[in-house]
Structure 1
């Protein structure tokens, strides 16, 4: 079945950018780009190590704005448009909730692989693993 609404979570990684490119090339339907901002006081964010301050919050806002503008630019290059949504929370939980709330048919996201001893890749890969395991819709992982 051809989807009518695709959700593409973007986190600024090259694989997430490839996921957006894949979705734009593959699906001729509504595409929503989701950027999830992890709260600065969450244990997995820098706020778990450093006290949140206005400069860190501003950096997070600027990074989010850059991701959203980049997604819109990528879509415009192919004469397409994307809807953009920014949410705050746990990435996997927020992606799963958005999939249900927005009534999407498919999720297309980047996956992180590589050396299993690389702790950064293992932690980042847990988001894709959780979404694949719990999503109520088809998930395409771009690698």
Structure 2
């Protein structure tokens, strides 16, 4: 059965951009683009790894807005409307919550290699691995 609402989580990476291209080409339904701003752990700021402050949060939010606006422009060029959303939280958890709360019935996302750990994590990336294993809907991972 064809989906009626596809979610495309975007992080600005080439594989995520390819996931959007695939979703727009394959599915003739509602498409939502989601970017998740991940808050920096306070311990990182306290340890001196990153400077604390509103500037960093604002810069992350601005980057997220640019990512979804670029996606909207690409969709317009393909003559396809998309909804755009920016949320804050853990990427995998936020994607799964969005699926559950917004009648999403298919997720199309990029996978990332090079992560340390289990083979699946190395092949897909930690966010994609979590979404694939926990989502109650079909997940297509673009590699």
Fold-level similarity (TM above 0.5): yes
The alpha carbon displacement at 1:53 in A equals: 1.3
Where does residue 129 of structure 1 map in the other structure? 129
Where does residue 15 of structure 1 map in the other structure? 15
Equivalent runs, 1:34-53 vs 2, <5 Å: 34-41=34-41, 47=45, 49-53=49-53
**Aligned counterparts of 1:85 and 1:115: Cα–Cα separation in 2:** 27
Give the alignment's Cα RMSD to 1 decimal.
Answer: 2.1
**Aligned counterparts of 2:42 and 2:32: Cα–Cα separation in 1:** 25
**Aligned counterparts of 1:114 and 1:125: Cα–Cα separation in 2:** 7
Corresponding residue pairs, total:
137
Where does residue 142 of structure 1 map in the other structure? 142
Q: Can you give the 5+ residue segments of structure 1 that lack an aligned partner in the other structure?
A: none
**Aligned counterparts of 2:33 and 2:101: Cα–Cα separation in 1:** 14
Partner of 2:140, secondary structure, is strand
The alpha carbon displacement at 1:61 in A equals: 1.9
**Aligned counterparts of 1:16 and 1:93: Cα–Cα separation in 2:** 17
The answer to whether 1:111 aligns with 2:98 is no
Aligned CA distance change for structure 1 residues 41 and 116 (closer, same or farther; 3 Å) = closer
**Aligned counterparts of 1:9 and 1:90: Cα–Cα separation in 2:** 13
Q: Can you give the 5+ residue segments of structure 2 that lack an aligned partner in the other structure?
A: none
Give the TM-score of the pair, scaled to structure 1. 0.87
